[in-house]
Amino acid sequence: MAAFRAAVLVLLGLRLGCAAAAVPLVIWHGMGDSCCNPRSIGYIKKIVENKIPGIYVLSLKIGNNLIEDMENSFFMNANDQVRDVCGQLANDPHLKGGYNAMGFSQGGQFLRAVAQRCPSPPMFNLISIGGQHQGSVYGFPRCPGESSHICDWIRKMLDLGAYTQAVQEHLVQAEYWHDPLKEEDYRKNSIFLADINQERGINETYKKNLMALKKFVMVKFLNDTMVDPPISEWFGFYKSGQATETIPLRETSLYKEDRLGLQEMDKAGKLVFLGVKGDHLQFSEEWFDTTVLPFLQ
């Protein structure tokens, strides 16, 4: 009888432990930010930890310190950043059973690249908050950063030629620069976005890995003045050959040809489109608590 009671208690303990265990969360910050800024990503990390007791949150740092992390968001090849992160995730014992991912601005599309290229450990839900999944073009209206000279230099480089090899390899923002008036240049010379969006052919592994997500949540800022066009945050873009009229994801060739599996994911209820009033990355804690946190629990 004592042995039976002990076995029951062990089973109950295992079940309770499994029920209480929160799915780990990986966060990737946006351009000009860092992993642990107390006014941005550090604040988000604390909110999640306070609302979901016991959760393990990894806020990604690219580089050896916060300054390098910020600088790398401008100047480290996006493919190298994704490779670095894939290594971090694979070597983190807290993530071996899988994790949810939440990316802010360019961090959203970079985490999508992680989902497509690095399926182990598995990503369950991907939450993209203001991520430019079809890219962004035209100007740099609100470039963040500690000093304006960095932003001025970036503008000059983009003006000189976003699709030149030198600029592509050394300027992150050029790597997701998508000019609807230069579609052929974009497809041929974009070293990051054109690849993860299957613009030069179909990588079936990318497609399979992305379709393994349980949910792909895309948040669009309804008054965004930084991402051009804002509908890129919902995977829409300009009609090809002009820069006035935009089309939603379901009218794009990417969706119709199902190059990434988004059509199939949509039909399966895996795509979630959320809108929030405000400019780029401007949202309230209340909105975050009620709208985003449920996808992490």
CATH number reported for the structural domain that contains residue 227 in this entry = 3.40.50.1820
DSSP 104: E
Other Cβ atoms within 10 Å of 275 Cβ, number: 14
Rounded mean pLDDT, 74-83 = 96
Instruction: Show Cβ contacts of residue 293 under 8 Å, excluding neighbours closer than 6 positions.
Output: 48, 51, 52
Residue 136, pLDDT score:
84
| Residue positions counted in the chain | 297
Distances, alpha carbon 265 to alpha carbons 7, 52, 183, 217, 250, in Å:
42, 28, 26, 11, 12
Q: Given pLDDT bands bounded at 50, 70 and 90, which one contains residue 297?
A: confident
Copy the structure tokens of residue 20. Answer: 């209480």
What total of structural domains would you count in the chain? 1
Assess if residue 142 is contained within a domain: no
Cα(286)–Cα(166) distance, integer angstroms: 43
Catalytic choice (34, 40, 59, 105): 105
Residue 18, pLDDT score:
45
Distances, alpha carbon 58 to alpha carbons 42, 77, 173, 214, in Å:
11, 22, 24, 20
pLDDT single digits (tens) 250-267? 999 999 999 999 999 999
In angstroms, how far is the first alpha carbon of the chain from the final one? 38
Cα(197)–Cα(203) distance, integer angstroms: 10
Assess if residue 116 is contained within a domain: yes
Shortest CA distance to 33 belongs to which of 85, 70, 77, 1? 70
Report whether pLDDT(159) > 90. Answer: no
Catalytic annotation present for 284: no
pLDDT single digits (tens) 1-37? 455 444 433 344 444 444 558 999 999 999 989 999 9
b/e code 27-51 from CB counts within 10 Å (16+ = b):
bbbbbbbbbebeebbbebbebbeee
Query: To the nearest whole number, what is the mean pLDDT of the chain?
Result: 89
Assess if residue 159 is contained within a domain: no
Catalytic annotation present for 84: no
Assess if residue 17 is contained within a domain: no
Who wins on pLDDT, 246 or 10?
Answer: 246
Residue 166, pLDDT score:
87
Which residue range forms the structural domain that includes residue 211? Answer: 25-136+202-295
103 phi, psi to nearest 5 deg: -115, 140
Q: Given pLDDT bands bounded at 50, 70 and 90, which one contains residue 144?
A: low
Residue 164, pLDDT score:
92
Q: Given pLDDT bands bounded at 50, 70 and 90, which one contains residue 61?
A: very high
Catalytic annotation present for 224: yes
Is there a contact between 77 and 170 (Cβ–Cβ < 8 Å)? yes
Cα(36)–Cα(49) distance, integer angstroms: 14
pLDDT single digits (tens) 111-131? 999 999 999 999 999 999 999
- In angstroms, what is the C-alpha Rg of the chain? 20
Is there a contact between 152 and 127 (Cβ–Cβ < 8 Å)? no
Assess if residue 146 is contained within a domain: no
Catalytic choice (224, 228, 232, 258): 224
pTM recorded for the entire structure:
0.88
Rounded mean pLDDT, 96-121 = 97
Is there a contact between 177 and 161 (Cβ–Cβ < 8 Å)? no
Assess if residue 54 is contained within a domain: yes
Rounded mean pLDDT, 40-55 = 96
Rounded mean pLDDT, 33-59 = 96
pLDDT single digits (tens) 205-237? 999 999 999 999 999 999 998 898 999 999 999
- What is the percent of the chain with per-residue pLDDT over 70, rounded to a whole number? 88
Report whether pLDDT(190) > 90. Answer: yes
Rounded mean pLDDT, 235-258 = 93
Residue 162, pLDDT score:
87
